Each structure stands twice: as structure tokens, then as C-alpha cells.
Structure 1
Amino acid sequence: MECASCDAGIDHCHGTLVVHPEGGFAECTDPACADGDRVRHGLIVDCQALGTGCGCAAAPGKPLLRRAS
């Protein structure tokens, strides 16, 4: 299966953007993603929707996922 956005040369990410209400930051599940802009991500979820839960509620400012910079 081919990605239509890749074929069209559209800047996008194949990862999922996880949005954290605490601190207002977002991070991507794709370690190669360097831009957390919502426009680049087709999949966006709130961290509270993660089945494993999120560490931001227990430890503000400490991200659950790693994001490439």
C-alpha cells in the first residue's frame, strides 16, 4: 500500500500526535518526527485516551513519549 501524501510530496507524518492538556504540549509517536504541528498529523489523540494512561497527570512536565528534536 502506498501513501497518497508521500506520492503527492505533501509534508506529513505517519505517527500519532499525542496532545497533553497539562502544559499544553504535544508529541509524536514517530521518533523521526521533528514537528508536532497538528496539520502534519492525520491521527491526533488526547493523552487521556491512551490505554496505558499518561504520566503527565501524575508528573506534570514529564512526557510519556519521546520526541525527536
Structure 2
Amino acid sequence: MECASCDAGIDHCHGTLVVHPEGGFTECTDAACVDADRVRHGLIVDCQALGAGCGCAAAPGKTLVRQAS
């Protein structure tokens, strides 16, 4: 299976963008992601929708893998 966006040369990311409502931070599940812009991501989820949940509200000052405002 090939990615249509890759074939077309469209700037995009294969990771999932995780949105944290506390502080408006976002992070991508793809460690190679260079831009956490929503436009580049086909999959976007709220951190509270993650299976294990997210402790971002309980962990002020938590350092995220990828951040964007």
C-alpha cells in the first residue's frame, strides 16, 4: 500500500497529533515529525481520548515530545 500524499509530494505526517487542552499544546506520535501543525496531520485526537488517558492536567510543567502553540 502506498501513501497518496507521499506520491503527490504533499507535506504531511503519518503520525497522530495529540491535542492537550491544558495550555493548548500538541504533540505528534511520530518522533520524526518536524512540524506539529494540524494541517499536516490526517489523524488528530484529544489527549483524554487515549486509552490510558492523559495526565497532562495533573502534571504541570510536563515536557512533551513535540510542542506547538
TM superposition score normalised by structure 1: 0.89
Matches within 5 A, 1:14-53: 14-53=14-53
Q: CA deviation at 1:61?
A: 3.1
Task: State how far apart, in whole Å, the 2-side matches of 1:10 and 1:61 are.
Answer: 34
Structure 2 residue runs without a partner (length 5+): none
Offset, 1:17: 0.1
User: Counterpart amino acid of 1:21?
Assistant: P
Identity over aligned pairs, percent: 88
Report the equivalent of 1:56. Answer: 56
> Which amino acid letter does the alignment assign opposite residue 66 of structure 2?
R
Could you list the structure 1 runs, at least 4 aligned residues long, displaced by more than 3 angstroms after superposition.
none
What is the CA deviation profile of residues 2-61 of structure 1, one whole-angstrom value per residue up to 9, with x for unaligned ones? Answer: 000000000000000000000111000000001010000000000000011112021123
* Structure 1: tracts of 5 or more residues without a match: none
State how far apart, in whole Å, the 1-side matches of 2:10 and 2:61 are. Answer: 32
TM-score by length of 2: 0.89
- In angstroms, what is the RMSD of aligned CA positions? 1.5
